[in-house]
Structure 1
């Protein structure tokens, strides 16, 4: 069992609102909290807190309180911070919804979470209205942030309350009482890359704990400008960007969606100092020629999460941008961060996810026996792979209305079974090899797709790649690569297989290759292997 090398931090017994917004001095209140990356409009901490309180007051006047769940379907815009923290200030539980969801998917989450209110923006109103109607949410309880207001005769959002209308009522924030250790703050839903999405129950204490724990590993500070392109509805964006950046009194530069040109423009024009990304963005930063057209000299740190980042790719980004590149690890069920490379630890291998956060314990166990994998002494010696288990104050309470799934994930001793395969060394560093369910069994050998993907991305003609296990003519599982070729480059399957073969053990060779236009990925940057498997099954001949 491994303990964090960092001293424990104190976790205040407070709501996330009180933790983030209580006790700011006059100078801090006048600092910029939010910058709209599209328009350049700014919001100070003073303005943000005032809007949060007014929004909480308007909701409380409509009966929203500690027993209510409210859905939020909204991209990364400054108003997200107002509604998210306004809801928490009112004592409600927030279930954040993927902005790309269809009406059916929105309906499923609203129904499963028990939400009776929904907040959205006008571009997403059609799917929001369709889902709301199906679960019985009336028009008066569907808030359109940029709408014209329910009293309007026509226009976008007519018949629904708007943010301007609610803030304009001038109602004071309510007095609410709940136990931060047990009251659910948020109900994000797991990504669904494996299995049906489930509501992850995170309390105010879970969120406060994880923000407190991050402070030693992620050295954001007042005066930093943080690019917020990773979605706030995802736990990575919610905790590491929205909550942690506000706690550090940094300025969040919001982007509603990822577009490479706009991403580079916003960094350049708003002089972002920290850029939080997922690995697919790292691929673009390392390889795309358009990056050289923009002044990215303000960037001090690029921090990657949501999926494993290859060390060579990290070094390529660092060299091109002249910055520090770090990565961390976590999952929705851990609020999410459990590991991170501290920015000042230049000695740490970039292919690792770093060290455990404060107050956190971990084990690497044999997936079949449950026994701890032994750690060999020696700087360059890594353990055999095993399933990563986590215990700490950031671990979820369980899955909503799903005791069987909770029992499968959380054992009686409080260990969360991540389903991720990791190795560790005697210095307390961890590497994430792959998902337990994603490992390919080739002739009895375990082959990790992430390892092969990292090798593929080293090829200069490959823009992106993913690997899954498929069956050959004899019914044996073999690695198959899906490859996106760089614009203007040429490549054939034999060249791809030869490149991989030159860098891996014989049992890890890629044995089939398919060229495709884009690798399917979730909004948080995870490869959607289930979509690749579905593509493979659709192409299989009918017996």
Structure 2
């Protein structure tokens, strides 16, 4: 067995909850502004934030939504998202974060599976929320800001909770983000307080995070990347976070300029804009030292182009929801273009040949396996998927094919998993296929990704229609009513049959070969 070890010094994980970790820093700077709503300029000082978290935690407890209960939040990035998240955590509950672009059926699935009893959202999403709740365990919908007919979140504020409700830091499920993992439908990833706190500490150490850092945060907090490296690391590490409800290049650049951002946290499509869009030249980004890209691989050419244009270092890391999310990152002073970086502290890796099961030494290619304190507890309500991804010795089988060079740098070269990455978002082929087959007149379907330098991969659908079956417009209308925007098919190809193995498994490689050959 060849185990790659981290070159970083070991970290002793803090014996505190994620909210206690955040509060420990905020209590040293009570009058500093720590959260700013980018579009409006609304702000919260550290004292304001802690007071709101404690009062909401107390109110949730009084209303029966505290310890042992699950609260769902479906909202864009805004200061109140951070308040809700940490109030649930302080009260000893579990929070499940829902993508605000989900359709009602997608929201309903997550609410049911997570066992949510309270759904927190905003007025513009209230219609979808109300349509999703019937048949779930949700007893109340609370709205941040205006929302006709719904309980205002402020009505849930109560007597401040004095301190953290006792929880098992290693085993209590703090957060349930949903991920397709290496394959299949979205599953609840069970992450503990320890998973999140140790990953914050690991990233702070390798990223050289400094007190006073301000950043414009468009990476969604419902996704583990934004949740950990933006929300929790900036609050716990002495930073200031300016929230953006969605990515807007002009606003992102302006806020980065005005707040003299030292670092940008981005995904590859944004890195592309930073490298090529003419608008970038209109802003003073001279304070910028680093652009960090994650969620999907970033090629060395694009990485170098970003760094050259902005006069800074552009680097990337590797992670997945199941690892809270980071296992590898490039250190700023020793970044390697095209590499996903070095192992974080307390983390180990193996490169395993998927055919032979043999470990590979430096330069050898195989599936990346990772073990460390940031690795998930497992998938909620899905022992089979957990066993297939997380083995008895604690190794997480990532489904990505990579190699590690002689210096310990990881390079991702391919993937075993079926998951499609579109602009950093996960698209599970099985989920789109299920939606397609549910449409009368569709006999069979398969979905694969088509590589694209700007977005990563486009979801492409191959469909077999019955005689007189739905045309492309009808198929698209059906999908738009059932799946989020990033799961929509960019091409629909009608075919006579879906290639399958003797056991009935879709031979996606053959379909990808058709696309590469220019299939119409």
TM-score by length of 2: 0.81
Alpha-carbon contact 1:57-1:174 (below 8 Å) kept: no
Residue 135 and residue 385 in structure 1: after superposition, are their counterparts in 2 closer, same or farther (change >3 A)? same
Q: Report what 1:203 is aligned to.
A: 192
Please tell me whether the aligned partners of residues 279 and 305 of structure 1 are also in contact (alpha carbons under 8 angstroms).
yes
Q: What SS class does the counterpart of residue 135 from structure 2 fall into?
A: helix
- Give the CA deviation at 1:341: 0.6
Residues 190 and 377 in structure 2, CA contact (< 8 A), matched pair in contact too: yes
| Distance in 1 separating the partners of 2:369 and 2:340 | 15
How many pairs does the alignment contain? 449
1:219 counterpart (205, 208, 211): 208
Report deviation, 1:121.
Answer: 0.8
Instruction: Output the CA distance in 2 between the equivalents of 1:117 and 1:468.
Output: 33
Aligned mate of 1:357, from 344, 364, 373: 344
1:17 aligned partner: 19
Corresponding residue for 1:304? 293
Q: Which residue of 2 aligns with 1:246?
A: 235
2-side partners of 1:371 and 1:390: how far apart? 15
Over 3 Å counting, the alpha-carbon distance change for 1:207 and 1:465 in structure 2 is: closer
| 1:154-194 CA-partner distances (Å, limit 9, x unpaired) | xx333x32233333x44444662221111110011005784
Aligned to 2:360: 373
1:157 correspondence with 2:145:
no
Aligned to 2:399, the other structure's residue is in SS state: strand
* Residues 88, 175 of structure 1: alpha-carbon distance in 2 compared, 3 angstrom cutoff: closer
1:519-539 deviation line (CA, Å, top 9, x unaligned) = xx999xxx96x945xx34x34
1:228 aligns with 2:230: no
User: CA contact under 8 A between 1:56 and 1:173: conserved in structure 2?
Assistant: no
1:438–1:468: 8 Å Cα contact kept in structure 2?
no
Cα shift readout 1:61-98 (whole Å, capped 9, x = no counterpart): 10122211111101000111101001100111000001
* Partner SS state of residue 328, structure 1: strand
SS at match of 1:432: strand
Counterparts in 2 of 1:79 and 1:464: CA distance versus 1, 3 Å: closer
Structure with more relative contact order (C-alpha pairs < 8 Å, separation 6 or more):
2
* 2:340 corresponds to 1:340: no
Q: Do the aligned residues in 2 keep the contact of 1:70 with 1:95 (CA within 8 Å)?
A: yes
SS in 2 for 1:54: helix
Cα deviation, residue 31, structure 1: 1.9
Give me the whole-angstrom Cα distance separating, in 2, the residues matched to 1:434 and 1:291.
32
For residues 497 and 155 of structure 2, what CA distance do their matches in structure 1 show? 58
Residue 486 of structure 1 aligns with which residue?
Answer: none
Q: Larger deviation: 11-20 or 235-244?
A: 11-20
The 2-side partners of 1:24 and 1:39 are apart by 23
| Structure 2 contact 177–222 (Cα < 8 Å) conserved | yes
Q: Structure 2 CA distance, aligned partners of 1:64 and 1:98?
A: 21
Residues of 2 paired with 1:25 and 1:274: CA distance? 24
Question: In angstroms, what is the RMSD of aligned CA positions?
Answer: 2.7
Deviations 1:205-246 (A, max 9, x none): 111111111122112211111221000000001111111111
Deviation at 1:306, TM superposition (A): 0.3
Supply the distance in 2 between the matched residues of 1:263 and 1:193 (Cα, whole angstroms): 32
Report what 1:411 is aligned to.
391
Change (3 A) 1:339 1:406: same
Q: CA deviation at 1:10?
A: 0.7
The Cα of 1:467 is off from its aligned counterpart by 7.4
Query: Does structure 2 retain, via aligned residues, the 8 Å contact 1:56–1:174?
Result: no
1:259/1:539 Cα in 2 relative to 1: closer, same or farther (>3 Å)? Answer: farther
**Offset at 1:333?**
0.4
When residues 465 and 89 of structure 1 are mapped into structure 2, their CA distance, relative to the original with a 3 A threshold, is closer
Equivalences for 1:112-123 in 2 at 5 Å? 112-123=113-124
Aligned equivalent of 2:372, options 378, 392, 397: 392
Offset at residue 271 of structure 1 (A): 2.9
Alpha carbons of structure 1 residues 470 and 369: separation in structure 2 relative to 1, 3 Å: farther
User: In the alignment, which residue of structure 1 is the partner of 2:276?
Assistant: 287
TM-score using structure 1 length? 0.78
**Residue by residue, what CA displacement relative to the aligned partner does 1:397-425 show, whole Å, maximum 9, x if unpaired?**
11001010000001111110000111111
CA distance in 2, matches of 1:240, 1:172: 26
Residue of structure 2 equivalent to 1:515: none
Measured after TM superposition, the shift of residue 262 of structure 1 is 2.5
Query: Is the Cα contact below 8 Å between 2:297 and 2:412 reproduced in 1?
Result: yes
| Distance in structure 2 (CA, Å) of the matches to 1:420 and 1:257 | 29
1: distance between equivalents of 2:406 and 2:169?
A: 36
1:173 and 1:430, CA in 2 relative to 1: closer, same or farther beyond 3 A? same
Q: Is the 1:278–1:305 contact (alpha carbons within 8 Å) kept by the matching residues of 2? A: yes
- What secondary structure does 2:151 align onto? coil
3-state secondary structure, aligned to 1:85: helix
* Residue equivalent to 1:431: 411
Unaligned runs of at least 5 residues, structure 2: 421-447, 463-482, 499-520
**Cα distance, 1:57 vs structure 2:** 0.7
Q: Quote the Cα distance in structure 2 between the aligned partners of 1:55 and 1:78.
A: 14
